[in-house]
Structure 1
Amino acid sequence: MEKERSLQELFGREMPYTIEVDHIKRKFLNLSFGRHERQKLDIYLPEDGDGPFPVIIYLHGGAFKLGDKSDSQVLPFLEGIELGYAVISVNYRLSTEAKFPEPLFDIKASIRWIRAHALEYNLNPDNIALTGASAGAYYAVMTAATQDNPEFEGAYIGNSEFSSKVKVVIDWYGPTNFLCIRDHFEESGLSIVIPSPKDGVPTPEELLLGASLKDIKGLAMFTNPITYINESFPPIMIQHGKIDPIVPYQQSIILAEAIEKNGGKNQCILDIADGYSHVDTRFENKRNMKKVFDFLDTYLK
């Protein structure tokens, strides 16, 4: 409990809780896109209209080992149903259940499932955004960087005849290059509140990979979305707090630089927020969410 309280103080908020969605009239919960119990998604539709609705997919955070599609993390993006969006919250296998790239396969499979069932649920298969926070943001960026790359599709899960491409991405404070995280913390002078290799405790990234980073540098580069960014990378908005003690803000800077260099000009909006921490509630306020939805509107409406 002491650790939990310190994290709550650090984030300036309560830890995620299960949301109440009885007030949302049109919803389809716990739809399976694969055989594993974690391969499920929830669809929330606008109250009025027949669609087809542009889609916002949300991927929860949780250090790769925690979190659920029904966590309160999705609430800011659920505002999208009032703006004419279908919002879909997706579960993926956690690092306690599967190692990389299996969770990425889950996300690709969920996108293919959404396209396969677009007509049934009044979804627009051509206008799909992928959004996420922290670990979810990492998966969103990795999905976008490896679009239609057979090596990362996980076609065995199903609907392999459909594409896993997305049109636009929102990245909230996600990691990028696992090998640089500790160096970036030292550069920032921030205290790390998550396990460090020096502690003899596996880091979240090591749990995801199933091995120590110092022993698998090649695999760590295999997990780095920067490795795969090219001109097909979709437009992206990246937002990151400058005093983030979980994922250093430099992780977003190197991603933005790679997109600018290899993904094409004007493909990336980078917003490094002074004084913002990890999971900072100010990212979720009305002013910032208007900025986020305006960005999504540009590409999806």
Structure 2
Amino acid sequence: MKRNWKKIALTSLLSLTLTLPLASYGQAAAQTDLTNMPPTYRDVLLDTVKNDNGAARELRMNIFIPPTAKKTAVPVLVYVHGGGWAKGSYEGDDAKKRLSETPTSSQGAMMDKDNTSSYKIFKDVLNHGIAFVSVDYRLNSEAALPAQIYDVKGALRFLRAHAHEYGIDESRMAICGTSAGAHLAAEMALTANRPELEGTVGGNSGVSSKVIACVDYYGPTNLLTMAPEMDSRLQDPAQAAETHDSTRANESILLGFAGNGEGVGTLRKISEANDTASPYWPMVEKAKLSSPAYQVTKDAPPFFIAHGGHDSLVPIQQSISLQKALTEAGVENLFICNSQAPHGYQGEDTNKAMMRWLCHKLNVKY
């Protein structure tokens, strides 16, 4: 009987000895979560541009280089923020921390506990040895298309031109975004080096804006068809028309077509009638040129697309149309739909699949 007690005691001791290091490792891992690290290079100035009203506008970016980076250049993920083209900032969740540097601030604590933020979901690439860069662009209240595309492409060219300075591998650059940011990211990925959509923002005109992968989280892909594609079970058709077709719609403002009698709804009718004689036909062409679904070619980079089945802002058909165009062009793509996801958090399974896919495309270990 004494021998049995000795065996039990020895087993318990071994179990305790084995579990203690594991607990310590878990604490260390939590302390080194890089999604909370500050920018390595903060508020990097890309260019000072002009808004449509002539006012000066500084375009900046935050650059995060994983501390594990040594002598070897690291791949980079460029993040384009969402916000309906009408709000948001390149600072993302880090703006909350900037308000107070004290770790006990309630704002900082809120951010640290927020695991559903799209900004932090993509910033997680730092934990995989990938640099993270969050870029700025003019909002639709500041300038109309194609200004936003020019801004994002200018940031890409800048990063490639200064790759050696920041320790970035210019051959391994990917782009991502959510919602309006995903629209710009996809448009940029599909129209790399197209003269009519490059612009001169940031200079570096001889540098390529090409990326090797794009992650599109529930982004608009056809600016003309958002309202009629919205599932009436998720949003009343009249409300969908107000949201996407009216002169108050963010798409209308983005296109610079928000005056009396204008709006996306007007452009769609002209497009459906193929009324090339309309004085507004150039605006129809502008809307199509700015819509990723119309810009797919066989030379497009691989795409990862995620869209929730309960998205009541951007119709899931927008992602289905892009995926169909990519497939028909022979472009590699992966489309994941969480049937219960809204316009926002897509679920941990989707995020893990995205990160694994992205690591593979950027040739790093997941």
**TM-score, scaled to structure 2:** 0.71
Match of 2:338 among 259, 262, 273: 273
Q: Secondary structure at the match of 1:71?
A: coil
Q: Distance in 2 between matches of 1:200 and 1:143?
A: 26
- Contact 2:227-2:245 at 8 Å conserved across structures: no
1:288 aligns with 2:333: no
Match of 1:257 among 324, 331, 356: 324
Cα deviation 1:191-222 (Å, max 9, x = unaligned): 16677179955111001001122144333222
Q: Which residue of 2 aligns with 1:8?
A: none
Q: Distance in 2 between matches of 1:206 and 1:26?
A: 35
**Per-residue deviation at 1:24?**
2.1
**Per-residue deviation at 1:38?**
4.2
Q: Distance in 1 between matches of 2:221 and 2:340?
A: 21
Q: Which residue of 1 aligns with 2:188?
A: 143
Query: Aligned pair in 2 of structure 1 residues 101, 167: CA closer, same or farther (>3 Å)?
Result: same
Q: Secondary structure at the match of 1:112?
A: helix
Match of 1:107 among 145, 152, 176: 152
1:55 aligns with 2:122: no
Name the aligned partner's letter for residue 245 of structure 1. Answer: S
**Per-residue deviation at 1:271?**
1.1
1:41 aligns with 2:61: yes
Structure 2: unaligned runs, 5 residues or longer = 1-33, 50-56, 94-117, 258-262, 268-282
Q: Secondary structure at the match of 2:133?
A: strand
1:15-34 paired onto structure 2 within 5 Å? 24=37, 27-34=40-47
Query: Aligned pair in 2 of structure 1 residues 276, 294: CA closer, same or farther (>3 Å)?
Result: same
Q: Distance in 2 between matches of 1:244 and 1:225?
A: 19
- Contact 1:128-1:168 at 8 Å conserved across structures: yes
Q: Which stretch of the first structure deviates more once superposed, 43-52 or 241-250?
A: 43-52
Q: Secondary structure at the match of 1:158?
A: coil
Q: Distance in 2 between matches of 1:79 and 1:171?
A: 16
Paired residue total: 275
**Per-residue deviation at 1:298?**
1.5
Cα deviation 1:46-91 (Å, max 9, x = unaligned): 1122231100110000001110111234111111111100000001
- Contact 2:77-2:133 at 8 Å conserved across structures: yes
Match of 2:204 among 137, 159, 163: 159
Q: Distance in 1 between matches of 2:190 and 2:220?
A: 14
Q: Which residue of 2 aligns with 1:129?
A: 174
**Per-residue deviation at 1:289?**
2.7
Q: Which residue of 2 aligns with 1:191?
A: 235
Q: Distance in 2 between matches of 1:29 and 1:205?
A: 31
Q: Which residue of 1 aligns with 2:134?
A: 89
Q: Which residue of 2 aligns with 1:300?
A: 362
Name the aligned partner's letter for residue 202 of structure 1. Answer: R
Could you list the runs of 4 or more consecutive aligned residues of structure 1 that deviate by over 4 angstroms after TM superposition? 192-195, 197-201
- Contact 1:57-1:129 at 8 Å conserved across structures: yes
1:245 aligns with 2:312: yes
CA RMSD, Structure 1 to Structure 2 (Å): 2.1
Q: Which residue of 2 aligns with 1:209?
A: 255
Greater Rg by CA: 2
Q: Distance in 2 between matches of 1:155 and 1:238?
A: 29
Structure 1: unaligned runs, 5 residues or longer = 1-20
**Per-residue deviation at 1:93?**
0.7
**Percent identity among equivalent residues?**
31
**Per-residue deviation at 1:258?**
0.5
Query: Aligned pair in 2 of structure 1 residues 227, 131: CA closer, same or farther (>3 Å)?
Result: same
Cα deviation 1:105-137 (Å, max 9, x = unaligned): 000000000011111110010001100000000
